[in-house]
Amino acid sequence: MNKICFFDTKPYDKMYFDLLKEAYGIEIDYFEPKLGPRTAFMANGYEAIVAFVNDTINKETIETLYQNGTRLIAMRCAGYNNVDFKAAYGKIHVVRVPAYSPYAVAEHAMALLLALNRKIHKAYIRTRDFNFSLNGLTGFDLHGKTVGVIGTGKIGRVFMDICKGFGMKVIAYDPYPLKDSDIHYVSLEELFKESDIISLHCPLTKDTFHLINEETIKMMKKGVYIVNTSRGALIDSEALLEGLKNEKIGGACLDVYEEESELFYEDMSYVVIQDDVLARILSMPNVIVTSHQAFLTKEALHNIAETTLKNCRDYFDDKVLENEVCYRCGRGEVCLRKENKRCF
Ligand code: NAI
């Protein structure tokens, strides 16, 4: 048995990891706090640790982990924009779960879009109060509308298939378009100009930071709906708020928010929220916010636990780390992993 520790534990994580841990010969100590510079000391003596999307895995955190003997960070998620890979390189291997259920995220994106467009969030509250009025609940047919998908990876492609099922016209942008596919690629500018709905499915990188901003919003159709189930900082929240206020943006479906790390996944209902932009966005009738829950299906939780535990097992067994990522291979550059070795 090898022992690992687990940061930012929630009951649903523990349930799925506990079901599978024995099969992988791994014991787990669960910690409630998020991983960051002030909590990294808790991993003292654990060679491998498990972390998540809103942990702060910066240079300081990595240095403390390394000094205390950690050599593997197993991210139980696909995205890794919160890891300082340069600081980790040569010291701590970083592995992730590249795919656990693109369906979970794509279906949630469509659920948000349908709910917002058909005002289900309003209707649900009204009928529970015996208010059966339909005033203000008018939506539009998705059929025949143009949806612009940014990022045609695993999740983007599932979302496109779902949209096609609704009879929507699907256009897409990706700097690395898939060869030999029937995807109708357009330039980013064309996508902004043509789309009735824009859905984000690209990673957060230097290039995609604030992809939706004051200038790009200006290019969009009046009344455009924006769906973001990817990463919060793809959208400049202040520009989004302005677009909603001046009604250029007709609706926003947000599973992620750029300043979510101190808020999402926690019960903040007794706290005075200091983020005025979020508070104002949440007050809009044409916005639905969920708390980074697009991944939350039974299938995804099972797959996350399975791949994370396998990643840890492979590390302890000195095997090649199939799901390792470093600052080189993460950007598609030459890396030892391409020769079927560990990144360093
Ligand atoms: P993927 O790696 O399969 O696809 C990402 C696609 O984005 C690739 O085709 C890539 O070429 C493209 N891309 C890269 N740079 C781009 C740019 N500048 N503009 C447009 N496209 C660009 O990733 P996958 O699995 O489809 O996930 C997409 C994103 O979804 C992840 O990066 C993550 O941030 C987010 N996600 C959110 C979850 C949630 O619970 N809300 C759960 C899982 C992932």
Quote the Cα angle for 321-158-204, to 5°: 60
Which domains are present in the chain?
2-100+297-339 (3.40.50.720), 102-289 (3.40.50.720)
Residue 101 Cβ contacting ligand 1 at under 6 Å: no
How do the pLDDT tens digits run along the chain, 344 residues long? 999 999 999 999 999 999 999 999 999 999 999 999 999 999 999 999 999 999 999 999 999 999 999 999 999 999 899 999 999 999 999 999 999 999 999 999 999 999 999 999 999 999 999 999 999 999 999 999 999 999 999 999 999 999 999 999 999 999 999 999 999 999 999 999 999 999 999 999 999 999 999 999 999 999 999 999 999 999 999 999 999 999 999 999 999 999 998 899 899 999 999 999 999 999 999 999 999 999 999 999 999 999 999 999 999 999 999 999 999 887 778 898 888 889 99
Ligand 1 centroid to 74 CA: how many Å? 19
Residue 220 Cβ contacting ligand 1 at under 6 Å: no
Which residues are catalytic, by number? 231, 260, 292
Residue 79 Cβ contacting ligand 1 at under 6 Å: yes
User: Half-sphere exposure of 33 toward its Cβ, with a 13 Å CA cutoff?
Assistant: 10
Ligand 1 centroid to 172 CA: how many Å? 13
Cα separation of 116 and 286, whole Å? 7
Residue 198 Cβ contacting ligand 1 at under 6 Å: no
Locus of tokens 């898939």: 178
Closest CA relative to residue 168, chosen from 215, 100, 223, 110: 110
Ligand 1 centroid to 203 CA: how many Å? 4
Stated pTM of the model: 0.94
CB atoms near residue 263 (< 10 Å): 17
Cα separation of 159 and 182, whole Å? 15
Cα separation of 53 and 292, whole Å? 10
